[in-house]
Amino acid sequence: MKYDIHEVLDMAFREKMPRIVVEGDDDRLIYTKIAEKAGKTVEIYPVEWIDGLAKERGNCGMIIQAMQQLQPKFEENPKWILGIIDADARDFRPISPKFPDEGNFRSLFNLLVLKYYSVETYFANAENLKKLFAFMSYALEVEIGAEMLQFLAENHENDTEFYYYLSLEALKRANEDTYISVGNISYGGDERFDETYKQRIFPKLQAKKVDLDTFALQKNISLTHLKQICKGKWYLWNYVYRAVFQVDKLIKACEKYPHLPKCANCEVDKSKCNYRMKQPYKSAISLLYNQMLTYVNESECEDIINAMKQLG
Ligand SMILES: [Zn+2]
């Protein structure tokens, strides 16, 4: 049985247990982990659990609608419910003519709009990469220094341009109903882009560069907005994908890369390098992706943590 949003607020108040309304099922684990860092015990409700909202608005629009309905109640009960929505590059696309009321989303009390396109991007950072490398190899987290991290992150930069133009293409399509995008690129799909895809699509995107740059200029977008316009699932997946290929090179790193510090084992016994992988991870990138989503970086997630701390 679904819940009425007013009922959810009443329950939260009665039980003194804050509720957080999120977009999807797969967000429950992510936000539970973040709430732990905020020191809060909360219950997370995917918006599909809430009744009486207009499905045609999409999950994000449904959260906006739910929070709109609760605004008058927040005068009495301000601290028991929080809605969280992805930014979805909403600042760079038109408000749906079907739902003009969604235009006030930034002024709604107890609605947090993420700083990036979606929450997954909060997990793509060097600190998390260090944790992931420790998870995959026999090296300890404390042994992975700045030089090693830099080596592992090296290739990510080469993808920046590809993901920038890919995202601009998706955004242009989101702005113009009749726009035909390269390779049918849109924010709607859940594709994971591998090297073959990139090699096929990148030249086509580059051929459109002048148009896409003009579009970016009109929208006041530059490379610095990459995390705001690139879908989080694309961004994090690529981050992990690149790292796995770099890590692979490290299997005999201590021999092959004399500029990097040797692992603790190779100092003693060269037959058992600590940078060797526990298993072949190239075919298990999804597993690593999900592993990354369990590492909450407090400074990166500060806006979410602070909003949660206001609760209860
Ligand atoms: Zn070694």
Tell me the average pLDDT of the chain. 92
Q: What is the pLDDT of residue 96?
A: 84
Ligand 1: centre distance to CA 261 (Å): 9
Q: pLDDT tens-digit profile of 132-158?
A: 999 999 999 998 888 888 888 776 666
Tell me: pLDDT of 282 over 90.
no
Crossing angle of helices 126-136 and 285-292, in 10° steps, is: 130
* 61-78 confidence digits (pLDDT tens): 999 999 999 999 999 888
User: Where do you find CATH 3.40.50 in the chain?
Assistant: 5-119+303-309
The CA 274 to ligand 1 mean position distance, Å, reads 5
CA distances from 77 to 4, 66, 82, 312 (A): 16, 15, 12, 10
Cα–Cα separations (whole angstroms), residue 33 to 99, 113, 118, 233: 33, 18, 16, 18
- 74 DSSP 8-state letter: G
* Domain 5-119+303-309, CATH: 3.40.50
The number of angstroms, rounded, from the C-alpha of 91 to the middle of its chain's C-alpha atoms is 17
Q: How far is the CA of 263 from the centre of ligand 1 (A)?
A: 4
pLDDT digits (tens, 9 = 90+) for 232-275: 999 999 999 988 888 877 776 787 777 888 888 888 887 888 88
Distance from CA of residue 242 to its chain's centroid?
Answer: 16
Degrees, nearest 5: CA angle 117-122-124: 105
Closest CA to 132 of 230, 273, 246: 246
How close is the Cα of 134 to the center of ligand 1, in Å?
Answer: 13
- Note the pTM of the prediction, 2 decimals: 0.94
Determine the distance separating the centroid of ligand 1 and the alpha carbon of 242, expressed in angstroms.
Answer: 21
CA–CA dist 179, 274 (Å, integer): 51
CA R_g for the chain: 22
Q: What is the pLDDT of residue 301?
A: 98
For residue 112, is pLDDT > 90?
yes
Cα 246 to middle of ligand 1, angstroms: 15
Alpha carbon of 248 to ligand 1 centroid (Å):
13
Q: Which phi and psi (to 5°) does residue 219 adopt?
A: -95, 5
Q: How confident is the model at residue 296 (pLDDT cuts 50, 70, 90)?
A: very high
Q: Which of 228, 299, 301, 230 lies closest to 31, judged by CA?
A: 301
Q: How far is the CA of 155 from the centre of ligand 1 (A)?
A: 21
pLDDT at 191 over 80: no
Q: Sheet containing 81-85: which strands, arranged edge to edge?
A: 43-46, 19-22, 81-85, 111-113
**pLDDT for res 8:** 97
Q: How far is the CA of 243 from the centre of ligand 1 (A)?
A: 18
Considering only the C-alpha atoms of the chain, give the largest distance between any 2 of them, rounded to a whole number of Å.
68
